[in-house]
Structure 1
Amino acid sequence: MAIPGNFLSPTTESIDPNTSGWTPKLNCGTLLKGTGGRNGDGCLVTKSVAAGEVQARTVSSYPVTAGTTYYTFADTAGVVPERIGIRWLNSSGTEISITWSLTTMAASSSWHRVSVAGAAPIGATQAQVLLSSTEVGVNVSHYWENVYLGLPIRTTGNLLPFGTESSEIDASGWAAVVNATVSRQIPVIGWAVDNYTAGGHTLAMTAVAAGNASILAVDRPAVTPGAEYLAYAYLQPPVLTSQAWIELRFYDINGNQIGAQRSTLAPPATTGMYRQRTSMVAPSNAATCSVAAGLDSASAGQVLRLETAVVVVAPKLQAGSVLPYADSSLEQGIAGWTVASGVATIARTTPWGLSAFDGAYSLAVTSATATASTIRSGRFPVEEGANWRAQILAHGAAGSWASVRTRVRWYDAANNDLGASTGVAYTLPGASWYALPADAVAPAGATQAAVEVVATASATSSVLHVDQVALWEVLPLTAVEAFSSSGYIELTLRELILDDEITVYRLLPDGSRVLVRGPYGLIDRQPIASDLMIVEDHEAPLNTPVRYHIEQYLPGALTPTTRTSDYATVELADINSAWLKDPGNPQRNLTVTVEKPPDWNRPIDQASFVVRGRRNKVTHHGLRQGLEGDLAIWTLSDQQREALHLLLDSGNTLLWQAVPGMGVDDMYVDVGQAAEARTGGRAQEQMRAWLLPMVQADMPVTVGVNGPAGRTWQDVVTEFATCADLLTVYSTCEDLLLDRRR
């Protein structure tokens, strides 16, 4: 799959089907296409002509803007260390300078990553990617694959800027706190081929002397008091016995630290890169936050490496859950969980990755005897009279369990115990992870609730692991709402099963059904990435009640589970109006006033031949084609006129929708040369008359609904200091929304 935002063509990126995107630059013989690549089978093979540095570059040069930061990475393998660079060129193609990465710390014949980022220098208008390795002999091969050049790829929603998240530019985003120095290194790390936020450079904290050592991100992004935040980073400790940690810190308006939550890594058997998470609710007087990392009881010279440092608003592992991330995912400890009764003990699992459904850890419940124990979460706000669902994910890690009961315990505002729900008892048939839900209605006076797990061991020394705990108000699994002023129906799907596949149909009154469009095209057996899915159907017919049929499939299964929504109707009262919509860009949709509907033509390709001695011609013809005609409309204001220009600019296939009963069905059309004319009167008159030549088209199948893909204003604030900074980067507000840069 092509890397999103890559300036390089798919052929240049993946070296499939050939090496045409690359050319030798220094001490490099003919480039070859190798096999065994990761992004497709192909890979680029460079061979040394003589001992010494070997360089290859992209054939093409790619436009850049001076002062803007660009990023390049590649996966590579060989018998010597390597580096990657961005070669900056001026308008005449002359080299200005090269931004080089550090050289990898060792050679490796396994795929590993090199990368670098830097700002285009003054005068730069173009850039090329340079691949470099210094071979020690003649005709030595080096391998390259999965190459990217473009704008920085950062974690969506990260409060920290790209330079702090990745250290690809330099190490200036971090400062030593105690007994440490800060630098950058490129160790040999084999990231997943599609892990685009992980680069080659890592931040290296070196302990100056024996003792505790720590560093801190210098950025202080703003936070909202009462909101929960999640910080995480990949940590690579120097030895298995190291006490490596990450810490989320909060500060008041004066810069005083007022809260912190630390999470210590429990490394497994190898000193690799491990993502460690920590979370905390921002205190009531919090203004900013930061993230720290360090080693306790370090030896002099020991190095802790960090990669992909992130601070985001903490996600909900189940939409609507009232449990904080810490209590739900158990990543930094047991959070608010306690043993309410019984002999069981509880702790975070160890080591990292031993047993978890979300993240890298879970809650380990250990019972020394074959008895029942009750473990209980902290208390969280609920509303009385509503139906609530508690759910845990559990699996038996050792021994055996006669039953595991999930239930809810209720409390009033004064923390008085109102009793527990009956709950549901389950048996665990195997060692897999099982979802164990239980529903209950909050009694009168209830304002708080806790999740309880009553685990009954049937053998001594039994261990139960619990993860991804949630408590949420049960809302309709499927809901629809029409937004007639915007011309669409919103379909909300809850409690979907992650990694299953989903298909969504629009059901019409005549019994026909049509696939509904989503971000990746028509939603037809697309993987489910979230338990909550919201679909905006901008192609729903007007003044016609429709409902939706949803099918969920296990991966590879042929028989689905199904659900069906209620009816909803998009209304358009004015019969003189019509919608013109871009299926892939619904933000451009608008209503226009119809002056005159088309008089249709249906052309046909045919040829007539005169046969000597016959009265009638012989005609050969193809199929009669779709409708063609001119739609005459008015725009009534300058704003509407500009909106129509924006809609037409792309040349995309459009959807024309008129009120039913006007003698025309909803129709996908391609619009030809559009004529815009004044309607007479004063020069200041804003009304315009348009003639849109339309040709009937098929429904676009592969077009997905454009959207910001999780992008929020926080991402903009993190990257840009002022609104004026946006003007040189984005041409329009739509470009800002979709992050389409100049």
Structure 2
Amino acid sequence: MSSEALEGIRSMRLTATAAGSVEAVSPRFTVAAGKTYVARLPIRQSTSTAKTVTGRITWYDAASGGSVISFVDFSLTTNATVGWSAANYVVASGVAPAGALSATAAITVAGLSAGEFVNTDDVYAAEVPRRANDLLEYNTGSCENDTTGWAITGGTRSRVAGVLYAGAGYYVMAVTSSGAGQVSARTATRYPITPGTTYVAYAAVQGTATALSGHFAIEWYDAGDVWMSTSTVSETFDTTIRRMAISATAPAGAAKARVMVRPVATGAGQIIYVDDVSLCPAPNRPGNILTYEEYSSESTFPAWTLPGETLERVYMTSGITDGFYALSFAPVAHKIHRMSLDRLLPVTAGTTYQAKATYFGHNPSATEATQMTYRVFMDWYDSAGLLLLADNPDGFYSMNINPNGLSGTTSTETRTAPEGAAFARLIIELDHSNSNVDRYYIDGLSLLEASPEYELVSDNATGAVRLTVHLLVPGAPRIHIQRVDQDGRKAYVRGYGQEYKLYPYAGTTMVIEDYEAPLGTRVWYSIRWTNDAGTFRYNSLDTQAIAAPVLENPDYVWFKSPGNPALNTRVLMESPLKWSRVARSTSFTVVGRKNPIHKSDVRSGRTANVTALIWDPSANALFDSLLDTGLPVLIQAMPGYGVEGNLYLAIQDSEVEHLDPDARVPGWRWSLPVVEIDRPDGGLQGSAVSTWQDIYDDYTSWEELFDAHATWITVLTKG
């Protein structure tokens, strides 16, 4: 032990017992085959004589014991100084071979005289966090071991201590110009690539005081290593640390590629630092109709239209965005900002597509939370590029952003391309009307073929809206479904046995029948998947608005059983409702006073006498069955009939009489004293669409039913 330390107050001292070398080997650490590992091995010299230091990682086929599979070595010559030489620690790195289960890190120092010692401390060994499918070797991209992975023209290269971005290691490559002109730093290796595939390259770069122009590029070569072409982006090299990026598609005939950083020096001795270089197949979403740059805006600025605002490409990283850049704008006006991709995207009529976007918002307030409100959708265009059908988008989603917070999320929408559609335009809307967000970020945009997330159908025959939810949310135990009326009022939809509030979720397609959507209005549905307590949201889905059912003959009204839709029926009301409200008050005469003392309470609810006319015997029997239940009823009528919205009633004693003196002629008049009540609680029993009688009529046996349907969901949805 020694008091010379990098961490804490002690370090390990290695003393040569004779002239030669000393070695220290670490304990075993667990590794996984195919993963890249790095070991950083600092030393402190006790003399001013340069030493040869070797770092080694040895791979074993067992967690302990076992046999050596192989090892990797990296050596360097230290500086001729006493002390810790942070600028020149040895680093070893390599990919764990097949069968490797453990490894050791070792440091060997040669050239010591007897009694001479070195110290080591703050030794680090771990898996390297690499970008998925990076073609570059770790040492080439990081220069942690050395700079042999690079070829320089117009200058020289060296490995120096430094960090441009946290997590990218301890060393960078310094490229020093030999004179004025282009200084090209290329990967020494030409990496195999696939023609027609899009690749993205990154490099962290910093210049010195003199700002230099230049390029960041991918060079393409054929199978014989003959240069074919170069894809470039213009860059500035100055004291700002930049994450340079370029994405490009490998041309036909290309077989290999190199990454190149190329500043244009104005004189000798100018330095740029390079680190964290990678070359990967662009991680676009599989099947995305958008190009990678439209998806992620990593190196170029796709053409978008955002009226009244300045759209920028800015540095942005997160766990749900792609790469290092995103689209962004600082909103000026408090309004709904509509952002549309200029390029029309090719689609096929009759095919369902999913649009998806990722959003972030920054809240500048130190004390107050704010909301980010957003959605993505698509309009349809014909083969001539003319608007065919504007979307009726899903509702806006929103999320809370805490004070001084930066929060992000995603949203999707699925639509089926209508007949005649040849193109779609991707559109994003951010409702900034009442938000204090000072900057929005947009990334991860896609449009790809998909299954519909939901289907929404309005059925006049049953007076119901049918919502089929195909979107599956694994792991969520509960689901909540609310109908949102055109005035913004929300009500939980009735499910089987209970309302869709903390409703048990089985992780399968769900069919929801809503018989209480107000006639002739527009409604949409808000769906949330949560934990058992309803306090954590797994996912959410807001549907588009749909026109609720109508009565084709506006003289009729629906009489519905809120909990038993099979009893719902249409009747003709003989006259408009005439309401009365009984006063809850009384007066007391007091001796010696001119006026009585009056006491009152809230006036009672509305009461009326409903007279319904029915001519169809089956409808009359159904209406009689509805009354038999003794349960409250829902009356729905078209706007203008005098029944506004949903009217829930308790029916008192009823009377019925024939309309014709001849009782053999169908026709009945029902007289119903009613009292208005609040909406009753509870769920549904059965369906107006599919009843057991339908099953009995369509199938002769259980075996025939089970052969036709794998689940009860398909029985309900397909009959």
Q: TM-score range by the shorter chain?
A: 0.3 to 0.5
TM-score by length of 1: 0.45
TM-score by length of 2: 0.47
Structure showing greater radius of gyration is 2
